A and B are shown apart, each in its own frame.
Chain A
Amino acid sequence: MSQRNVIPFGPQHPVLPEPIHLDLVTEDETVVEAIPSIGFVHRGLEKLVEKKDYQDFVYVAERICGICSFMHGMTYCQAVEEVMGIAVPERALYLRTVWAELSRVHSHLMWLGLAADAFGFESLFMNCWKLREGILDIIEATTGGRVIFGSCKIGGVRRDIDGDTMKGIVEKLDRIAAEIRHTTDVFLNDYSVQHRLKEVGVMSGEEAYALGTVGPVLRASGVAMDARKIGYAAYRNLKFEPVVEKSGDCHARCRVRVREIFQSIDLIGQAARKMPEGEIAVKVTGAPSGEYFSRVEQPRGEVIYYVKANGTKNLQRFRVRTPTFANLPAMVRMLKGASIADVPNIILTVDPCISCIER
Chain B
Amino acid sequence: MIEEQTTIAVGKDELLGTVSDFHSQGYRLVQICCTALGDTIEIHYSFDKDYRFTNLRLTVKPGEEIQSVSIIYWSAFAYENEMSELFGVKIRNIVVDYKGHFYRTAVATPFVATETDEKNDTGKE
Contact of A38 among B31, B77, B103 (CB under 8 A): B103
Contact B44 A306 (CB under 8 A): yes
Check A44 for interface membership: any CB of B closer than 8 A.
yes
Report the separation of the CA atoms of residues A295 and B77 in the bound assembly, to the nearest whole angstrom.
22
Report the separation of the CA atoms of residues A231 and B28 in the bound assembly, to the nearest whole angstrom.
19
Report the separation of the CA atoms of residues A228 and B69 in the bound assembly, to the nearest whole angstrom.
28
Report the separation of the CA atoms of residues A293 and B45 in the bound assembly, to the nearest whole angstrom.
11
Give per-residue flags for A284-314: 1 if the beta carbon is below 8 A from chain B beta carbons, else 0: 0000000011110000001010101000000
Contact A292 B5 (CB under 8 A): yes
Known contacts A230-B2, A230-B51, A231-B2; A306/B33 CB under 8 A: yes
In chain B, positions 1-47 with a C-beta closer than 8 Å to chain A are: 1-3, 5, 28-31, 33-37, 44, 46
Residues on the B chain within 8 Å of A316, using CB: 35, 37
Give per-residue flags for B34-64: 1 if the beta carbon is below 8 A from chain A beta carbons, else 0: 1111000000101000010101000000000
Distance in Å from the Cβ of B35 to the closest Cβ of chain A? 4
In chain A, positions 28-70 with a C-beta closer than 8 Å to chain B are: 35, 37-40, 42, 44, 46-47
Distance in Å from the Cβ of A33 to the closest Cβ of chain B? 10
Contact B110 A329 (CB under 8 A): no
Distance in Å from the Cβ of B37 to the closest Cβ of chain A? 7
Check A119 for interface membership: any CB of B closer than 8 A.
no
Check A319 for interface membership: any CB of B closer than 8 A.
yes
Known contacts A46-B111, A316-B35; A229/B51 CB under 8 A: yes
Report the separation of the CA atoms of residues A227 and B28 in the bound assembly, to the nearest whole angstrom.
13
In chain A, positions 169-214 with a C-beta closer than 8 Å to chain B are: 209-212
Report the separation of the CA atoms of residues A294 and B30 in the bound assembly, to the nearest whole angstrom.
12
Check A221 for interface membership: any CB of B closer than 8 A.
no
Report the separation of the CA atoms of residues A317 and B42 in the bound assembly, to the nearest whole angstrom.
11
Distance in Å from the Cβ of A11 to the closest Cβ of chain B? 11
Report the separation of the CA atoms of residues A230 and B67 in the bound assembly, to the nearest whole angstrom.
32
Contact A329 B104 (CB under 8 A): no
Contact B51 A210 (CB under 8 A): no
Contact of A293 among B28, B46, B101 (CB under 8 A): B46
Contact of B1 among A47, A82, A306, A330 (CB under 8 A): A82
Contact B102 A38 (CB under 8 A): yes
Report the separation of the CA atoms of residues A330 and B33 in the bound assembly, to the nearest whole angstrom.
19
Contact B103 A329 (CB under 8 A): no
Residues on the A chain within 8 Å of B44, using CB: 293, 306
Which residue of chain A is the closest to B98 with respect to CB atoms? A37
Give per-residue flags for A321-334: 1 if the beta carbon is below 8 A from chain B beta carbons, else 0: 10001101110000
Contact B2 A78 (CB under 8 A): yes
Interface of A is mostly: mixed
Report the separation of the CA atoms of residues A325 and B77 in the bound assembly, to the nearest whole angstrom.
11
Known contacts A231-B2, A329-B75, A329-B77; A321/B31 CB under 8 A: yes
Which residue of chain B is the closest to A302 with respect to CB atoms? B30
Contact of B78 among A225, A294, A302, A329 (CB under 8 A): A329
Residues on the B chain within 8 Å of A317, using CB: 35-36
Residues on the B chain within 8 Å of A321, using CB: 30-31, 33, 79
Which residue of chain A is the closest to B46 with respect to CB atoms? A293
Report the separation of the CA atoms of residues A294 and B101 in the bound assembly, to the nearest whole angstrom.
30
Report the separation of the CA atoms of residues A227 and B30 in the bound assembly, to the nearest whole angstrom.
12
Report the separation of the CA atoms of residues A300 and B8 in the bound assembly, to the nearest whole angstrom.
29
Contact of A44 among B2, B73, B110 (CB under 8 A): B110
Distance in Å from the Cβ of A38 to the closest Cβ of chain B? 7
Report the separation of the CA atoms of residues A276 and B92 in the bound assembly, to the nearest whole angstrom.
54
Check A262 for interface membership: any CB of B closer than 8 A.
no
Distance in Å from the Cβ of B78 to the closest Cβ of chain A? 5
Residues on the B chain within 8 Å of A129, using CB: none
Which residue of chain B is the closest to A358 with respect to CB atoms? B103
Residues on the A chain within 8 Å of B36, using CB: 317
User: Which 6 A-B pairs have CB atoms at the shortest separation, nearest pair first?
Assistant: A39-B103, A329-B75, A321-B31, A317-B35, A212-B75, A319-B33
B interface residues, Cβ below 8 angstroms from A: 1-3, 5, 28-31, 33-37, 44, 46, 51, 53, 55, 73-75, 77-79, 96, 98, 101-105, 110-111
Known contacts A210-B73, A212-B28; 18 additional CB pairs below 8 A are A37-B98, A39-B103, A42-B103, A42-B105, A82-B2, A210-B28, A211-B75, A229-B51, A293-B44, A293-B55, A316-B35, A319-B33, A319-B35, A321-B30, A321-B31, A328-B78, A329-B74, A330-B75
What are 8 of the A-B contact pairs (CB < 8 Å)? A40-B104, A47-B111, A210-B74, A211-B74, A293-B55, A308-B35, A319-B35, A330-B75
